[in-house]
Amino acid sequence: MAITKTTEEDKITVIGDTKKINIRTATVIKEDGVELTRSFHRRFIMSRQGSYDGSSWTHADTDISGESTEVQAIANAVWTDAVKALQDAENAQLPE
């Protein structure tokens, strides 16, 4: 009787003008090859992170080095300079 637990990014989608990447990870538990449970965790990443110091915004590229090669490839393909500029503008509209 072998019980295994695996995780995989089973769904990756790109959302909106700012190309946020939504990543769904599935955790699957099997016993003797038969699936017992499957659960999901969702998260998203965006091209730029903004911070406000009380008088001005600063923006930095999101570090994707810890992401899977598939997510990195998608990010590098869709996060153009124009998309990053849109993300900066969206970040600057957030409440201070």
Cα–Cα distance, 20 to 13 (Å, whole number): 8
pTM of the model: 0.84
Task: Say which residues have a Cβ less than 8 Å from residue 47's Cβ, sequence separation at least 6.
Answer: 18, 19, 61, 62, 75, 79, 83, 84, 87
* End-to-end Cα, the chain, rounded Å: 55
Q: Give the start-to-end residue ranges of the domains of the chain.
A: 3-92
Q: What is the pLDDT of residues 24-33, one digit of tens each?
A: 999 999 999 9
- Tell me what pLDDT residue 91 has: 82
**Single-letter residue type at 59:** H
- Tell me what pLDDT residue 96 has: 59
pLDDT > 90? residue 1:
no
Q: DSSP of 80-94, one letter per residue?
A: -HHHHHHHHHHHHTS
- Tell me what pLDDT residue 95 has: 65
